[in-house]
Structure 1
Amino acid sequence: MKIPMNLVSVMNNTKWDELRLAMYELEPTPAWRTKCLENEYVTPWDCEWYYHFREGGYEITEWVEIRIESNDQKDCVLTELIRIHVPVEKITEGFRVYGYIWLGQPLEYAK
């Protein structure tokens, strides 16, 4: 797939795997869903990080949303996002980690 020129990759396979493994280790495991860059499909929520999350690779993942169910879970997820240093935005459901951003889109890291 050819990436549109107005999109910039901000993650790589190593960072996606760091995220995957960090979320897999949490108890309870937070739910996630991704948006496909190729067809804009947003997956249903899933809690299986070890196999499902990496299925098909990361090259067309525009973003992943991580759903938070409690303040304790929020603290644990945020701690891991800070540790692995990924581009993230707080959203109503929890957090959105970006794989690609649009040119000119502000980018922040968890803090």
Structure 2
Amino acid sequence: MIERLKKVIEERNLVSVMNNTKWEKLANSLMDLGKDEPYVRVKDIYDEESSGFSLFDWTFSEYSPSRLEWVDISPIRKVRRGRLVADFEIDNTEIVHEAILKSQVPYSMEGNNFRVWGYFEAGTIPEFL
């Protein structure tokens, strides 16, 4: 697995900005939000496409954080009200932002989402906040 990871990093000319300890800090900060834990979209280093937004298994029991190219964190929590009624939206921007700051990880804003970077392509530095 490590050899495959190294090969992808080299082929795509990726620069690492995170390590397992930083991912764990972020995971703990987000899980500490309890019922306000945000939905995330994950981009795996091996996949072309990212996942859809959902809750994430931050225990990393079956998923190595070294595979995370980036994670988009949605500060908007949608509460389903029914099939014919639009979802109710709760804006948790402030508490999600505080959790990210607490974890001291590199992040940027991508639209309305916070993006925590695991890797980026050399020569294309994100606008970190």
User: What's the TM-score, normalizing by structure 2?
Assistant: 0.72
Residues 24 and 48 in structure 1, CA contact (< 8 A), matched pair in contact too? no
CA distance in 2, matches of 1:50, 1:89: 20
Once the two structures are overlaid, the 10-residue window that deviates more, 81-90 or 41-50, is 41-50
Gaps of 5+ in 2: 77-89
Residue 43 in 1 paired to residue 62 in 2? no
Q: Which has the larger radius of gyration?
A: 2
Q: Percent identity?
A: 32
- The counterpart of 2:38, out of the listed 30, 41, 48, is 30
Residue 21 in 1 paired to residue 28 in 2? yes
- The counterpart of 2:106, out of the listed 87, 90, 93, is 87
The number of equivalent residue pairs is 107
- After superposition, the C-alpha distances for 1:53-101 in whole angstroms (9 at most, x for unaligned) are x231112210001011144x11111112222221111122420100001
Residues 29 and 102 in structure 2, CA contact (< 8 A), matched pair in contact too? no
Q: Which residue of 1 aligns with 2:73?
A: 66
Q: As a proportion of its length, which structure holds more helix? A: 2
**Structure 2 SS opposite 1:8:** strand
CA distance in 2, matches of 1:18, 1:34: 17
Q: Which residue of 2 aligns with 1:4?
A: 10
**Structure 1 SS opposite 2:65:** coil
CA distance in 2, matches of 1:102, 1:50: 25
CA distance in 1, matches of 2:25, 2:31: 10
> What is the aligned-residue RMSD (CA, Å)?
1.9
Gaps of 5+ in 1: none
